[in-house]
Every structure is written in structure tokens, then in C-alpha cells.
Amino acid sequence: MCNYAQMPSSSCLTPHPPSADDLLVLLAVARGGRYTAAAAELGLNHTTIARRISALEDALGGRVLARGAAGWVLTPLGEHAISAAEAVERAIEALSPEEPRLAGVVRLSATDGFSGYIAAPAIVAVRRAHPDVSLEIVAATRRAAAQRVGVDLEVVVGRPHVHRAEAVHLADYALGLYASRSFLERNGTPASTRELARGPLVYFIESMLQVDALDEARRSTRGMVDAVSSTNVYVHVDATRAGAGFGLLPAFLADPHDDLVRLFPDEIDERLPYWLVCRPEALRQPTVLAFIEALRARIAAVAGELAGVPTRS
């Protein structure tokens, strides 16, 4: 353990075995990123969590946690201890006389559209079999975080460049140009993309957009003028339906609305990838694995909608 802790050997002369309870506390802190989250999960108070972590560090002879930008992160020694903590958790679950039943919180950071259209139905499917599993969603359109503190999974648009994490391509989705029928009745339907120049655009706030793939998707609308801009894709859909202008929208969110018309689908058809980013330790959690399986099942079920092939007539 001294090698992991990067401490002189004299500090490890009198080690004592770590407590299984303390290992489980570390596991809860690692998953939640904060002492308060671990305390709520385990039914303990903040002081007890801090005391248990301190006792574990005394037993192992080094620090298991370090402060990150958004919470606690594992040190190399902590990562080594997590494997033992997960073994303790599995051993306890194996002692249950009943059929294994999943419980716990899956924490996800994802875009608004993915959160509502993919993640929400996926957790419903998980909870049918395991009602003690819940989902916390941080809806955000951003690059993959340098440190995944407080979340188990991230879903981002565009291929991420990450370290000490697993990145998996989930699916591509179509982005097209839409307008409401009432807007076209008032303003006329453009006969070509050239007629879109100086037209009102509904899309993301350009100065706040952090995702290169979404920024590059504007290439077919460069001559247009921002009419309504928002960080929330559902605002884009509602503003376009209200007649604010031409919306650059995900097909899977726009096509279900009969009052929206897709324009120039052969010319304006951007394909953007959803990528899943996972902490390695999260991939050893049965609840997270069950949720990922449900995400994949939901994506397979709506593959046509994601690709811009609506099922309605």
C-alpha cells in the first residue's frame, strides 16, 4: 500500500486491516463525489463519513481521496481500495436469500434532448424490474468533463477526448431545418436554400455553444440571422412551432409535431453522434450497467426517429 500512497516505508510499519464498513463508505463517496451525497445514501451524517474516511486512510497508510474541481476524486490508493470495496458490496449482496434486486442512484449528465427522449424512458424500463433504482439527470450541452465528479455517466454530442474514462459511440441523430405551417403561410415557402439568406434562425446561443459538432452544424445556415437563441433544445422546438423562424432541430423532436414542416431534407441534413462517457468504476456498478443496457434498448427502438425517418404518416 505504501507504493500507492507514495509514502515512506516507515509510515507503514504498523498497518491494520481496513474495516469493511469504511470501504463501503469510500465506495459511496466515490460514486457521489461528496460526503453529503454519501451520507444521504448510507443514512449517516457528514461527520461520520469524514471519520470513516479518516479511519480508512489510517488503515491503508495514505490518502484515498483528493479534492477535485467539483468534489472528491480517488487517489491511486483510493482506486486500489475501490476494488476491495466493490468485492465487499458483492459479497453482501450474495448473502441475500432473495433474488438479487438492484437499488441505488444512477447519476447522468446529458443533453436536454437525449435526457427527455432516451434517458427518461430508459429509466422507466429499469424501474419496472428494479423499483429501488432512481435516476438523477444534469441536463447540459457541453464537452465531456475533465473529471466526472458527482456523475456516473455523461452523454455528449461529438467524439470526446477523455482520459481515465471509457467513451462509447451510442448512435447518430439527424438535425434538419424546420418551420411551422403558419410561419410559411405568412412568409412563403423558400424555393431554395439561397432564399434562406437573412432569414430568422432558431438555434443555440452561438457565443455560449461549447460543442464543436453543434457549432459546425450551422454551416448550412451561416447567412441566416439569429431570431431566438437558447441553450435548451426544447425551447428551439417550441419557438419554431410558435412561428419565430426557421429552427435547426433534431428530427426526433420535430417530426412528431404535425404543425412543423421539414425544409430541404436532402441539402440540410446534419448527422451528429451521441457518445457515452463512463468512469471505469461506474462500469462495475450493476445499477449503471442495467441503465446502459436500457439506454441501448431505447436507442434501438427509436433508431428510425433518430435518423429522421418518422413513423407517423
pLDDT at 120: 96
pLDDT tens across 191-219, in order? 999 999 999 999 998 877 777 888 888 88
* Grid cell at residue 128: 419496472
Cβ count within 10 A of residue 251: 23
pLDDT at 15: 59
DSSP secondary structure letters along 138-188: EE---PPPSS--S-SEEEEES----SSSEEEEEEEEEEEEEEEHHHHHHH-
**Is pLDDT above 50 for 4?**
no
pLDDT tens across 168-185, in order? 999 999 999 999 999 999
pLDDT at 40: 81
Contacts of 225 (CB under 8 A, 6+ apart): 198, 199, 200, 201
Show the CA angle centred on residue 285, arms to residues 92 and 148, nearest 5°. Answer: 135
- Alpha-carbon radius of gyration of the chain: 24
pLDDT at 43: 83
Largest CA distance in the chain: 83
Range 14-19 average pLDDT: 72
Query: Nearest to residue 301, comparing CAs of 78, 106, 118, 113?
Result: 118
For each of the domains in the chain, give its residue range(s) and CATH number, in order of start: 2-94 (1.10.10.10), 101-313 (3.40.190.290)
pLDDT at 175: 96
